[in-house]
């Protein structure tokens, strides 16, 4: 891992297909659930690395304060409090300006991230090479 390599057998899986209970028609694909059986050591290692990356992202301020999704101790109430505070600030200093809000929830966002750009940002923020 320190050399930036993940052993191949950590990424391999065996998929078994299970019937979902109480389905009317088992000739349809949606009546089944695929379950990927992964290497336990690989899953454990992935969890440890994900936890360390999350902590590094918080420590180095990589994520904007306004991002709530996928972050610990960020719940709906946190988002509402942040928005409320920003609106109050705007009203206080805004000279009767309207407050507008745009919220985005992009599904599959990570699938469309530029990995090259992400790696550049992580290195720029002095994230250890073994995690990048």
Give the pLDDT score at 100: 82
- Strand boundaries in 11-132, DSSP class E: 13-19, 32-38
At 38 the three-state DSSP class reads: strand
Query: Domain residues of the chain, as ranges?
Result: 1-62, 67-100
Helix (H, G, I), strand (E, B) or coil at 18: strand
* Structure confidence at residue 113 (pLDDT): 85
- Determine the Cα–Cα distance for residues 29 and 108; give it in Å rounded to an integer: 23
First to last CA, the chain: 10
**Per-run averaged pLDDT (10 residues), the chain, 132 residues:** 76 93 93 94 89 86 80 83 87 77 77 87 82 74
pLDDT of residue 2: 67
Predicted structure pTM score: 0.59
Structure tokens that stand for 13 in this block:
């899986």
| pLDDT for 19 | 96
């Amino acid at each position: 891992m320190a050399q930036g390599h993940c052993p191949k057998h950590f990424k391999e899986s065996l998929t078994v297909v299970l019937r979902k209970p109480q389905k009317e028609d088992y000739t349809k694909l949606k009546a089944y659930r695929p379950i990927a059986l992964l290497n336990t050591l690989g899953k454990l290692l992935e969890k440890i690395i994900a936890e360390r990356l999350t902590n590094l992202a918080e420590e180095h301020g990589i994520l904007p304060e306004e991002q709530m999704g996928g972050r610990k101790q960020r719940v709906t109430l946190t988002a509402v409090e942040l928005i409320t505070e920003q609106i109050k600030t705007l009203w206080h200093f805004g000279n009767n300006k309207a407050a507008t809000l745009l919220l985005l929830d992009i599904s599959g966002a990570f699938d469309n991230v530029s990995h090259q750009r992400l790696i550049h940002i992580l290195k720029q923020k002095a994230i250890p090479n073994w995690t990048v």
